[in-house]
Amino acid sequence: MGSFRAVAVFPHIDPANFEEFCALASQMMQVIRKQDSILSYDMFFSDNNTRCTVLEEFASPEGVFEHVKANADLLEQMTKLGGKIEGNIFPIDQEGTALDEIRSNWDSKFHNHFLGKN
């Protein structure tokens, strides 16, 4: 199975919550750096720091489950501060048990791979 890419957006961070959101994200990054299944994980803020977009790449779709499990408490706190996560999924391969579970149980938009250079 190929790599698994995702974009997660925390759509609204109240300016009063920005520093706390950043502190939680920094805590989570310490855990992420130890997770071999996460190939890349980059966070970006909008110009006014009210929106956070996360570009994620996992070795396989199963890696996203490892990430969510290891960081569940922090993700829950960040969601309270930044709004319900808006997810977009970009799997290279389109089949598999993990992808089926994500399709069935997650509120994320799936995008089908067409062409690329791997």
Domain spans of the chain, in order of start = 4-55+64-110
By CB atoms closer than 10 A (0-12, 13-18, 19+), residue 115 is exposed
pLDDT of residue 94: 64
pLDDT of residue 13: 98
Q: The whole model's pTM is what?
A: 0.89
| More confident site: 10 or 89 | 10
Cβ atoms of residues 17 and 81 within 8 Å: yes
Average pLDDT over residues 2-22: 94
Q: Give yes or no for residue 1 having a pLDDT over 60.
A: no
CATH (one of 3.40.50.2300, 3.50.50.60, 3.30.110.40, 3.30.70.100) for 4-55+64-110 = 3.30.70.100
